[in-house]
């Protein structure tokens, strides 16, 4: 069975959440081999070593790839638009050739059921598979469609299944940099906005209940499902909990429903002896 290739892009400050994500991957994929690809721009060797030892304990391989800044010589890079924001979109060009697909996960996600069905999904010619977060109304989607001049739903970029081979052919770094330059004043979540503006028609839609569950919105999901998708349903069916927004479950004062579950995986990570938090 082909190992799953998990892609993450982050800086040193997000290594502890990454470690919790790794623990959740390990717990919910017994016996599965995984390759963790980490795109970064200068994480020191010592903390990377702790992550590598944790991966080894879980039977995972870690492939850290330090990104050459020369790739971004013509990119608009500012405090608002850091170099790293481009990494997930340009992953086909930044990862070694020969890799055919990758599953990108934001470091503020928690995996609570198997990702194998998503990994094995037939992309049917699409560049990506992603979910659109279902909100209380469609107002936000409509505003994003107007703002980005697209007629597709607005996809969240926190979970992205990627066809790397097709991406090398179709994703042009220059086009991404040019869009960021020309639309700088319109971008709210820059990399996510660019994904939707340039590639929405090339995205296969996923069910956010299962593959990119916004952990803030339990009551909304419950209401929209007429009470079917309760906590029992989530624990049995949801694969990825996404802790969207500024409030994060590893910080004090997190109030949303799934914070205690995240704390459990934090404690399991701490017990490895490699936790950097």
Distance CA 29, CA 20 (A): 14
At 105, is the pLDDT very low, low, confident or very high (cuts 50, 70, 90)? very high
Taking alpha carbons only, the member of 169, 261, 264 closest to residue 213 is 261
Q: Work out the average pLDDT over 235-241.
A: 98
- What sign does the CA torsion over 72, 93, 181, 77 have? negative
* Edge-to-edge strand list for the sheet holding 240-242: 109-111, 240-242, 213-214
Q: Tell me the per-residue pLDDT of 40-90, one tens digit each, with 9 for 90 and over.
A: 999 999 999 999 999 999 999 999 999 988 888 878 877 766 888 899 999
Q: Global pTM? A: 0.94
Classify residue 269 by burial, with Cβ atoms within 10 Å: 0-12, 13-18, 19+: buried
At 150, is the pLDDT very low, low, confident or very high (cuts 50, 70, 90)? low
Distance CA 89, CA 104 (A): 10
Q: Are the C-beta atoms of residues 173 and 71 closer than 8 Å to each other?
A: yes
As a residue count, the chain comes to 277
Q: Is the pLDDT of residue 151 over 80?
A: no
Distance CA 119, CA 121 (A): 6
At 136, is the pLDDT very low, low, confident or very high (cuts 50, 70, 90)? very low
At 139, is the pLDDT very low, low, confident or very high (cuts 50, 70, 90)? very low
């Amino acid at each position: 069975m082909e190992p799953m290739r998990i892609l993450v892009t982050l800086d040193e400050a997000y290594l502890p959440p990454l470690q919790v994500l790794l623990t959740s991957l390990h717990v919910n994929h017994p016996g599965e081999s995984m390759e963790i690809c980490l795109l970064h721009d200068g994480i020191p060797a010592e903390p990377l070593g702790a992550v590598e030892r944790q991966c080894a304990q879980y039977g995972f391989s870690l492939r850290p790839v330090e990104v050459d800044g020369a790739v971004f010589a013509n990119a608009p890079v500012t405090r608002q638009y850091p170099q790293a924001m481009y990494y997930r979109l340009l992953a086909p060009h930044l990862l070694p050739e020969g890799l055919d697909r990758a599953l990108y996960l934001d470091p503020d996600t928690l995996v609570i059921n198997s990702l194998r069905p998503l990994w094995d999904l037939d992309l049917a010619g699409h560049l990506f598979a992603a979910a659109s977060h279902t909100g209380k109304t469609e107002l936000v989607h409509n505003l994003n469609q107007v703002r980005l001049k697209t007629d597709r739903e607005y996809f969240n970029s926190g979970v992205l299944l990627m066809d790397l081979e097709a991406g090398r052919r179709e994703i042009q770094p220059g086009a991404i940099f040019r869009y960021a330059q020309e639309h700088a004043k319109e971008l709210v979540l820059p990399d996510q906005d660019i994904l939707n503006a340039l590639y929405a028609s090339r995205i296969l839609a996923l069910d956010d209940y299962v593959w990119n569950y916004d952990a803030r919105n339990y009551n909304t999901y419950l209401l929209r499902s007429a009470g079917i998708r309760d906590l029992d349903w989530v624990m049995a069916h949801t694969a990825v909990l996404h802790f969207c927004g500024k409030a994060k479950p590893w910080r004090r004062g997190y109030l949303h429903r799934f914070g205690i579950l995240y704390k459990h995986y934090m404690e399991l990570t701490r017990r490895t002896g490699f936790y950097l938090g």
